[in-house]
Structure 1
Amino acid sequence: MSGRVIAGRYELSTLIGQGGMGQVWTGYDQRLDRRVAVKLLRPDRVAGAEAEELRRRFVRECRVTAQVDHPGLVTVHDAGTEGEELYLVMQFVDGADLGDHLAEHTPYPWEWAVSVAAQLSAVLSAVHAVPIVHRDLKPRNIMIRQDGTVTVLDLGVASVMDSDTTRLTHTGSPIGSPAYMAPEQAMGGAVGPYTDLYALGIVLYELLSGTVPFDGNTVLGVLHRHLYEAPLPLGRLRPGLPDGLEPLVMRLLAKEPQDRPGSAQEVYQALAPLLPPRGIPRGTPLDPARPFLRPHAPWPDHPLAPAPRPDRPPAAPAGGEGADVASAVDDVKRLLGEGRITQAVDILGAILPTAARQHGEHSAVVRTLRKQYAATLLDDGQYRRALPELRRLADEYAAEAGTADPRSLQFRYEAAQCLEQLGEPAAALAEYRALLPYFENQYVSTDRDLPLEVRRRIGHLLLALGDRPAAQDTLLRLLHDAEQRYGPGHPLPAEVRRTLHWLGLV
């Protein structure tokens, strides 16, 4: 396979990683004459309709991940299809992965561990704002560059925040690495930023102690320990740690998400007093403390001449006073047909104010545009931007036709999904609970599956919030009703049964 050229320009060189459905290669971009990393996926390794689902998720992963702008994330250069394979072309990172770095520097200096965790907190804060949850944060997905900066790889395993991802396999295998997997992720519950914070706690524990807190001979054994065992106190494995560090790690490793720090930013603030003061680096490469010793200093330690940049006139904004709404709608249809969702979203967002001025805020034209805008944002995984549009549409239909109007309820349901994806489980749970009576009473003849799906989401959110008794009751009732409707072999009761198995009930 070495020497193969992807998309007429990316020449594969060395295989550096391989899994069940794909490979990662170093390579060269022949057009720009630069090193790259190329990730290849084979959707045909997944059966049936799930292959097409994987393709769809891959496209969205590439599009959304490419929009996350942070120096601690690997840059996405290109993506597409080559025969039966999907390819993702990324920045080549020159350095060592954190697993190898730890193995070469045991015991790992606690100053280095704090510096790595602080940089990871900054990256996660940017990622969670999108919102994306990594779901597979581990040393092999973290690179230490020559200048000591940390780069996080492979947002693609979990892609955009999607609580249904585990349903891509019917084997019960959750996405992620067992040694770094949060309890709610292991049980198939709702995941959120708090899930990545647990993995960050595992990584920090490993850097400080030299071992992960939960290990075992089987995947099930490891996951069981995550769920039910307390980690050995760090002080026994690494005496002499600075005050405050061990309590922070223990908070990150809390079984219940609400007992962990509230955000990656909060973790960074807790680590900040432990970071090294500014000073002169020791001159060695791959020192993760260096970015804090001399922030933004060039590497090596001499000034670099900035590359000249030609002046460019600013682009004219779309959707101005003279914009043609009908032409913009045609452009949006064309762009959506070509899969250029980000550009379509920008045009819709820009044309809405113009359409409101030309046709009236409550006109049929504006409402149609707003529905298309909200649906496109939702499909693109831009939940933060979709949420206010969905709420506005739900309120407008409720004001016209009452709170039980099916259109209003559907927009409220989609808004609840946004809240779930944004890592707001309490707000999402409250909305799903409020919607469930309507769906059970009104949708029996038109969408018999929806009430069961809402109950599944409620059960998983209860798990994420740490209310296991209520989650158990909800899921046991759901299992009975789902088996009555679909039979025990259907994916829904099978998934619920797996979760209840982890809870020790079936």
Structure 2
Amino acid sequence: MTVRVVAGRYELSTLIGQGGMGQVWTAYDQRLDRRVAVKLLRPDRVAGAEAEELRRRFVRECRVTAQVDHPGLVTVHDAGSEGEDLYLVMQYVDGADLGDHLAEHDPYPWQWAVAIAAQLCAVLSAVHAVPIVHRDLKPRNVMVKQDGTVSILDLGIASVMDTDTTRLTHTGSPIGSPAYMAPEQAMGGAVGPYTDLYALGVLLHELLSGDVPFSGSTALGVLHRHLYEPPLPVRRLRPEVPEALEALVLRLLAKDPQHRHGSAQEVYEELAPLLPGRGIPSGRPLDPTRPFLRPHAPWPDRAATPAAAPDMPAQPPGAVPQQDVARAVDDVKRLLGEGRITQAVDILGAILPAAAAQHGEHSPVVRTLRKQYAATLMDDGQYRRALPELRRLADERAAESGQADPHSLQFRYEAAQCLEQLGEPAAALAEYRSLLPYYENQYATDDRRQSLEIRRRIGHLLLALGDRTAAHDTLARLLHDAELLHGPGHPFPAEIMRTLQWLGQVRG
């Protein structure tokens, strides 16, 4: 029997999981003499030109998710492509996935459910601060280790495996796991941290009651129940569950994202009084209450940009002297050419103060560097840092050339994208709406395409905010105009049509 070795060092051993587009293997790292897990993805199973897009997104998502440092995330050791496969090499976790853990303990102790949820909140708090949305939180993507600590799997993979996770398949079924999918995600709306919180509510309901709150024989039936049926309060099935815990689950399962908790940290703080107090662990393996002396609490306000200390230097650490600006620019070009985005970001951030001192804050050199810095931050997934840079660039261009300046509008559009990625749908919606009049009624084809894309994003954000009627009207008008511009067989109007058909079925 031939043993496959990936990337010249990872010897595949046992197939432990398989899905529509990938496999998970235990493997042996020949170089470092350790056991690892290897996930193989098959981009060739995606039609046509989307395969190359999937490869590009895979590399980007691996790079972005590697920024998250938290003990509740499985460590990624390596990633790349070999032949037709994309591979992801991860830490091997000795434990059981939460689905099996639940099946082996019936009924599941509610204290265990609280401990699981609290640990997941700690991880999500760190993940959302990047910002990253998991998009596919479910028991099979959660591991309970021997010491009772919890790890989340497949961070970023849901985004990779679909160029738009909210897009619907040709069969009308939502991509993902319908039982754990928030209404706004399944309907094609914008996703954000609130989407993961809904999935956390489904998962917590399942741990407490033994079943998901909404099930059915078809994806459409499950989605209809997510949208219109209230979940059964868990105390009707298990009266021993504390009232506060039942109320927390019901709030997480709110249909409208604005009615859920504001953050994973807020959920953690509500769970904290229900966690077991200090004591001696039972000694049983896979006991999720064992880690709780409150060591995994999320850092307060971690998502906020820290204020500079009074004694910090004006330039960031690693800032370059003026005479080295030209050399640093060359380094940035080389690094970007090699795909080393994170290093390029660090150098660009260090160049800017020196370049401003040498050439002037409003010089063409500094503006070009600032544009590159903002674009590279976005490519690196650092939307929180990119947002103020884009707003500054937009304001400077508008002050010089007017509000309708194309460059200023593009910077504002990218700022709206940042707001969307940061899980601020109302702010993103307002920004897109303020931009739209500048692109409407334009004769240039590029302007008309941009207008259609903005309207599509407005429709998806309305879905995320729970306004399905306004979303339907927006997308119906968009479909008519998109078919006039592109023709009915083009992928853009075809996607809008599928969303409207799905939305119409659910509304009916």
Please state which band the TM-score falls in when normalised by the shorter chain. over 0.9
Provide closer, same or farther for how the CA distance between residues 162 and 437 of structure 1 changes in structure 2, counting only shifts above 3 A: farther
Describe how 1:174-189 pairs up with structure 2 within 5 A: 174-189=174-189
> Which residue of structure 2 lines up, in the alignment, with residue 127 of structure 1?
127
Name 1:439's counterpart in structure 2. Answer: 439
Q: 1:323 to 1:69 in 2, by over 3 A?
A: farther
C-alpha separation in 1, matches of 2:446 and 2:258: 37
1:104 aligned partner: 104
Corresponding residue number in structure 2 for 1:195: 195
- Distance 1:440-1:215 versus aligned 2 partners, 3 A rule: same
Note the C-alpha offset of 1:491.
2.3
Q: What pairs with 1:443-482 in structure 2 (closer than 5 Å)? A: 444-482=444-482
SS in 1 for 2:282: coil
Distance of aligned partners of 1:167 and 1:218 in 2 relative to their CA distance in 1, 3 Å threshold: closer
Q: Distance in 1 between matches of 2:171 and 2:60?
A: 24
Is this contact kept in 1: 2:172–2:502, CA < 8 A?
no
| Cα shift at 1:2 | 7.0
Contact 1:390 1:414 in 2 (8 A): yes
Match of 1:491 in 2: 491
* Whole-angstrom CA distance in 2 between matches of 1:161 and 1:461: 22
Indicate conservation of the 8 Å contact 1:12/1:27, yes or no: yes
Q: Is the 8 A contact 1:443 1:450 kept in 2?
A: no
Deviating more after overlay: 125-134 vs 210-219: 210-219
User: What is the CA distance between 1:469 and its match in structure 2?
Assistant: 2.5
d(CA) in 2 for partners of 1:469, 1:169: 22
**Cross-structure match for 1:20:** 20
TM-score scaled to structure 1, two decimals? 0.92
Q: CA deviation at 1:161?
A: 13
State the shift of 1:173 in Å. Answer: 4.5
User: How far has the Cα of 1:243 moved from its partner?
Assistant: 2.3
Distance in 2 between residues matched to 1:175 and 1:384, nearest whole Å? 28
Give runs of ≥4 in structure 1 deviating > 6 Å: 160-163
Match of 1:286 in 2: 286
Structure 2 vs 1, CA of residues 350 and 175 (structure 1 numbering), >3 Å: closer, same or farther?
farther
What does the per-residue CA deviation read over 1:237-282, in whole Å, with 9 as the maximum and x for residues that have no partner? Answer: 2112112111110111111111111111111011111011110111
Q: 1:358, 1:58 → 2: CA distance?
A: 39
Q: Is the 8 A contact 2:390 2:411 kept in 1?
A: yes
Mark the CA change 1:442 to 1:329 in structure 2 (over 3 Å): closer, same or farther: farther
Q: SS state of the match for residue 449, structure 1?
A: helix
Give 1:122 shift.
Answer: 0.7
Q: Which residue identity does 1:281 align to in structure 2?
A: P
Quote the residue 1:306 is aligned against.
none
Cα–Cα, structure 1 residues 377 and 436, in superposed 2: closer, same or farther, change >3 Å?
Answer: same
C-alpha separation in 2, matches of 1:35 and 1:72: 19
Q: For 1:1-12, what aligned pairs fall within 5 Å after superposition?
A: 3-12=3-12
Report the Cα offset of residue 496 of structure 1.
Answer: 2.2
Taking the aligned partners of 2:447 and 2:294, their CA distance within structure 1 comes to 60
* Larger deviation, residues 117-126 vs 159-168: 159-168
Q: What is the rounded CA distance, in whole Å, between the counterparts of 1:113 and 1:208 in structure 2?
A: 7
| Pair 1:200–1:323, CA change in 2 (3 A) | farther
Equivalent pairs counted in the alignment come to: 487
- 1:261 and 2:275 correspond: no
1: CA distance, partners of 2:294 / 2:319: 45
**Residues 1:346 and 2:343 aligned together:** no
Segments of structure 2 that go 5 or more residues without pairing to the other structure are: 297-315
2:146 is the counterpart of 1:146: yes
Cα distance change on mapping 1:251 and 1:163 into 2, 3 Å: farther
CA contact (8 A) 1:280 1:293 kept: no
Question: Contact 1:254/1:260 (CA < 8 Å) preserved in 2?
Answer: yes
CA distance in 2, matches of 1:63, 1:443: 39
Of the structure 1 ranges 13-22 and 466-475, higher mean CA displacement relative to structure 2 is found in 466-475
Tell me the distance in 2 between the aligned counterparts of 1:499 and 1:416. 22
Distance 2:197 2:2 in 1: 38
Closer, same or farther in 2 for the Cα pair 1:46/1:432, shift >3 Å?
Answer: same
Matched with 2:228 is 228
Which whole-Å CA distance do the structure 1 matches of 2:3 and 2:294 have between them?
41
Question: Match of 2:365?
Answer: 365
Deviation for aligned residue 1:472: 2.1
RMSD: 2.0
Deviation, 1:492, is: 2.4
Asked if 2 retains the 8 angstrom alpha-carbon contact of 1:133 and 1:158, the reply is no
Alpha-carbon contact 1:182-1:195 (below 8 Å) kept: yes
Cα drift, residue 486 of structure 1: 2.6
Contact residue 77 and residue 91 of structure 2 kept, 8 A: yes
Which secondary structure does the structure 2 equivalent of 1:292 belong to?
coil
Contact 2:189 2:461 in 1 (8 A): yes
